[in-house]
Amino acid sequence: MKALITGASSGIGRDMARVLSKKGYDLVLVARDHKKLEEVKKELEKDKVKVEIIEMDLSKEKNCIEIHNRVKDIDILINNAGFGDCGIFTKTNLEKEITMIKTNITAYHILTKLYLIDMKEKNSGKILNVASIAGFMPGPLMATYYATKAYIVRLSESIREELKKEKSEVQISILCPGPVKTNFNQVANVKFHMREANSQKVANYAIKKMQKGKFYIVPGMDVKLAKLGAKITPSFLISKITYRIQKRKLIR
């Protein structure tokens, strides 16, 4: 059994690698930080599994294609690489946002498509796309990030229906957490004023639910209620609520 995880050098990606190594999966870990990847590899090899690390910037399309060319016959694909940013849309950095779109959307799209083709041919495999509760609502002051996660939610929902109609054994799932205690805050330039979930607990929950075939994986009752609220509340009202929440996050 083999799993490929992007964004695997820290946070949820690293912690999901820990869970899968305990279950006996060989791992291919992808991230930009070679030193951190080496540290994770050294830790996980204690579980007597094979760990391959690939230092790669997935904001470049050719690198995503290279990953697929290099790594074959995987049983699980976890698309986890990504980051956010916070601020008024006209004042946030355009270059950072374009890189965000390429990392949060384009990389997911390419890897999901290429590995899904392989999995459908053998009629087995699992794909877990790490989205966010942000994918179910508008997100003023984090407009680009919320939009990227909405893309992942809708793409995955659509693929799920196609797989159902084809009676395929391939499974796709989306992980939609709320705030998680990782280095996301520093990159996104935010400070959360609400409870942050433990990354390892989220990872354990995600792998458990994915292996049971759950599509929407939403850790925490408060996040489940937020998802329900986003579904039944008009978008204009959600926008007002979200704006107030995001404004409190901004690091001044």
Q: Are 16 and 5 in contact (CB under 8 A)?
A: yes
Active site residue 243: no
Amino acid of residue 216 = Y
The one catalytic residue among 25, 115, 145, 146: 145
CA distance 47 to 167: 36
pLDDT at site 8: 96
- CA–CA dist 20, 40 (Å, integer): 13
- Which of 56, 48, 2, 19 shows the shortest CA–CA distance to 199? 19
In the prediction, which pLDDT does 250 show? 65
Please, are residues 217 and 203 in contact by the beta-carbon 8 Å criterion? no
Output the tens digit of pLDDT for each of the chain's 252 residues: 999 999 999 999 999 999 999 999 999 999 999 999 999 999 999 999 999 999 999 999 999 999 999 999 999 999 999 999 999 999 999 999 999 999 999 999 999 999 999 999 999 999 999 999 999 999 999 999 999 999 999 999 999 999 999 999 999 999 999 876 655 554 445 454 456 778 999 999 999 999 999 999 999 888 888 888 887 888 888 888 888 877 776 655
